[in-house]
A and B are shown apart, each in its own frame.
Chain A
Amino acid sequence: MSTTVSTKILTDKKFPFCPGCGHGIAIRNLAKVLQQLGYRPQDVAVVSDIGCSGLIDPLFATHTIHGLHGRSPALGLGVAMGLQQKPGKKTIAFIGDGGATIGLQHILEAARRNVDMTLIVLNNQLYGMTGGQISGLTTRKFKEIIDFETDVPAFNLVHLAHASGARFAARVDHPKQMPEVLKRAVETEGFALIEIASLCTSYAFKRLDELMDVVQEEEVLENPRPATQIRLAERPSLLDRQEIIHKEYEPGRPGRYGFVLAGSAGGGVQSVGKFLATAGMRAGLHATMKGEYPITVGTGFSVAEVIFDHRPIRYTGIDVDFIGVIVTTDGLEKIRKRITPGSRIYLDEKLKDADLPAREVIVRPFTKYVNRKSAALLATAYMLRQEQIIPLEALRETLTKHRLAKVFLETLDKLAELDG
């Protein structure tokens, strides 16, 4: 290919179709329309599918991209979105009725998004390339002739595209109508689908009038909506919003500590885990925080694992006896099996009958003083004060920085009542 770009839309290559195949007619008509509308080859990207209708990229002297079976509407939309960065470019994708069946989702999605592109569906009522099998667009009339699933109707692709939001959706049966409707499709600013009846002389009919007897009706449907614009925008660094934490407190005994905070969804356990890790960092410790919760985050258990270490943390699992804080039955059941004989557990009074194999179980009525949203925080603060691994002040300082500081600090004040 040379660096001098010609003005011709089509190459001189011989059409690869069987004699009388309808696919070539659509291609010649498209080339004329593009030329009429003043498109230069370098302004057009032709996206092709797999099938006889996909053998077309060598025929175009434009930019071309030839992908997979059924995916040209999606590949084409990707191209169209990219080409929005360069004004004056047009994306034209081709697909067969078979491709439209396997890739139906892509067509509906492109219609819904309404980014500027044209999709030409060459509907020959069958899978030409693989030997004439039926597609989702094969009509019952044709299926009666070939005795195939006669009770299953065809999709009405034009209606589906229209209902999904396509700016323009049309069906053309007779080649006479083709230039005019193709022109309207290409001129459309937004997503335009044009389904074109095409003759497969090898597996369907020899004559056009036979095809005309089985096809769906011609129609043109429009949605008066503007084309969606795709723009790239610079966005701020994610690190700009990162809180930098300095050592402000002295830690207690050096070592590695694992904390397991166990409660229920909605109990703030994940936030408390983060506060605890941050508080550790304020005391100069290395920290990790891992959350565990069911996929349906709004229900069931919520567990936060926090590790403190005076040395850099390599392995991030809790591989030592841990300090547990358990405030609900969900939390208890989730971590019960993990409790080692060397662990120490802070347990809400309501769970006091749980028979835990820990070295020490400290039972306090956390939920008596605060509601279920704050129990994990109160219990964790209590634990922290007892354990003296880091000063409670480091946690208080962390909470002070939060937008809900007032509520959190009120919770901390309940420590005095717990003591009383």
Chain B
Amino acid sequence: METTQTTLIDGSKLIIESLARSGAQAFVAYPITPSNWMYKYGKQRLPLFLAAPDEITTLQWMAGLSATGVMPVTSSAFPGIALMVESINMAYAMELPMVIIITQRLGPSTGSATTGAQGDLSLLKGIISGGYAVPVLSPSDFVDAWTLANEAVRVALKYRTPVFLLTSKEMVMYQRSFDLNRLPTLRSYDYDREIEGEFKPYKPVRNLTPAFVPLGDDNHLTRFTASTHDEDANIRKNDPEALANSKRLQEKLVQNLDDFFHMDLDTVEGARDLILTWGITADAAREAVQQLRSRGKAVDLLTVKTLLPVHPRIYDIIDGYERTFIAEENLNGQFRQILFGEKTSENILGISKIGNMITPPEIIRAVETQKSLQL
């Protein structure tokens, strides 16, 4: 192979190609900017493409397909995600694998369709009624777009859950020169159908997750339900076995978080300040860190890629610094608030902005003045 394979490419294409190679089989979607490139590529690449008439239908079709063993993905932005919420809860409770890409754009409401943002993380934190954890992966560059799309499919299938791939307009609707040789070879994944002992639809078998038997299976009859249920999928109200099953939905993800927690920690000798960032602000943060270091300022950079569930390791890292600046393109610092609540402190500072990407000079300004920045 040649040493470089440089091409002009966009993040949407890398994500869809990766999903296809990872085992995603159906792309179901309703058009919305900035997901339109995903839609176009999804149609070109996935084995099955369905143009749904709305986002509720999208999620329902995906759930139906997934229950028969056809792995679905979709891509949408806040207005569409809002319509999907009840159905996402359904898929979560039924334990149906699927990948939901969110291309964040400026809110509130319809907001501005072609302006990027990082404003939907708080929604995902509370998207499952009852506050249950759901995996949220957020690529910070094109290599992540490729590897985390693969990871999203793996996690969705392994833990039988919807997984969010949280991107932004700035990641999926621009092109850059990129060496394709930087993309690792991907493994393809499938539903885990290995049954142990007697089959029960919701009996945890591995990793607190039940084995998957698709609807229509010839050897075992299966049941899926979104109502509170026991291992046999019998609907039960608040009896202990059913509540234990509901708790397991959260536990399977939290207890196995090490398996899908991803972050980059870039350190130098003697740094007492940490910049913590995620998603599309990571590029600006990398540039800012480089410039700060070249001016003699030791500063470290933590790029979190598995945002939810929150891994305790993030707190351990933050504890090692005098100050942490959390940079993200939203109004109030959503990840910061998830980590530390609404109370601000001298040690935890925010760099937040709406309407435009946070720039390297803005991050540098915050670090040099040791002040929060709300733009």
The residues of A with any CB-CB pair to B shorter than 8 Å are 1-3, 5, 41-43, 45, 47, 57-58, 61-68, 71, 74-83, 85-86, 89, 105-106, 109, 230-235, 237-239, 242-246, 274, 277-278, 280-281, 285-293, 295, 313-317, 319
Counting chain A CB atoms within 10 Å of each CB, the highest count among B66, B68, B359 belongs to: B68
A43 vs B198: C-alpha distance in the bound complex, in angstroms? 21
In the complex, the answer to whether B174 meets A242 with C-beta atoms within 8 Å is no
Chain B residues, Cβ within 8 Å of A85: 68, 70
For A281, give its contact among B48, B177, B215 (CB under 8 Å).
Answer: B177
In the complex, the answer to whether A277 meets B175 with C-beta atoms within 8 Å is yes
Contact A76 B47 (CB under 8 A): no
State whether A295 touches B114 (Cβ < 8 A).
yes
Contact among B57, B66, B225 for A66, CB-based, below 8 A:
B225
The verdict on B286 contacting chain A, using a C-beta distance below 8 Å, is yes
Interchain CB contact under 8 A, B56 and A235:
no
Contact status A109-B57, CB under 8 Å: yes
Q: Are A237 and B17 in contact (CB under 8 A)?
A: yes
Q: A68 and B87: CB pair below 8 A?
A: yes
Q: Indicate if B218 sits at the interface (CB-CB under 8 A).
A: yes
Tell me which residues across on chain A come within 8 A of B260, comparing CB atoms.
none
State the CA gap A238–B7 with chains docked (Å): 12
Q: Say which residue of B7, B41, B224 sits within 8 Å of A64 (CB atoms).
A: B224
Stretch at the interface among B226-234, B268-276, B292-300, B338-346: B226-234
Q: Are A86 and B283 in contact (CB under 8 A)?
A: no
Contacts of A238 in B (CB 8 A): 13, 16-17, 20, 41, 44-45
The CA of A419 and the CA of B286, in the complex, are separated in Å by: 44
Which residue of the partner chain, among A58, A235, A242, A288, contacts B45 with CB atoms under 8 Å?
A235
Cα–Cα distance between A231 and B192 once the two chains are bound (Å): 23
Report Cα–Cα, A244/B56, bound state, in Å: 40
Grouping DSSP codes into helix (H, G, I), strand (E, B) and loop, the B interface class, with mixed when no group exceeds half, is mixed
A304 smallest CB distance to B (angstroms) = 10
The answer, yes or no, to whether B170 is at the interface (CB within 8 Å) is yes
B290 on the interface (CB 8 Å rule)?
yes
Would you mind naming 11 contact pairs between A and B with Cβ atoms under 8 Å apart? A42-B221, A57-B235, A63-B216, A63-B222, A75-B64, A232-B26, A245-B177, A246-B6, A278-B8, A293-B114, A295-B113
User: Known: A77-B61, A82-B70. Contact between A65 and B216, CB under 8 A?
Assistant: no
Cβ of B273 to closest chain A Cβ, rounded Å: 19
The answer on a CB contact under 8 Å between A82 and B199 is no
Cα distance, A47 to B67, chains bound together (Å): 11
Q: Which of A64, A109, A239 is within 8 Å of B180, CB to CB?
A: A239
Name the A residues within 8 Å of B306 (CB-CB).
none
Flag if A315 contacts B221 (CB, 8 Å): no
* B217, CB-defined interface residue at 8 Å: yes
* Bound-complex Cα distance A293 to B174 (A): 13
**B177-210: contact bitstring with A at CB < 8 Å (1 yes, 0 no)?**
1001000000000000000001111000000000
Which residues in B have their C-beta under 8 angstroms from that of A316?
Answer: 170, 174, 176, 283, 357
What 16 new A-B contacts, CB under 8 Å, besides A235-B44, A314-B284?
Answer: A42-B218, A61-B221, A66-B223, A66-B225, A82-B66, A82-B68, A82-B70, A86-B68, A109-B53, A242-B7, A242-B9, A245-B8, A246-B6, A290-B175, A291-B173, A295-B33
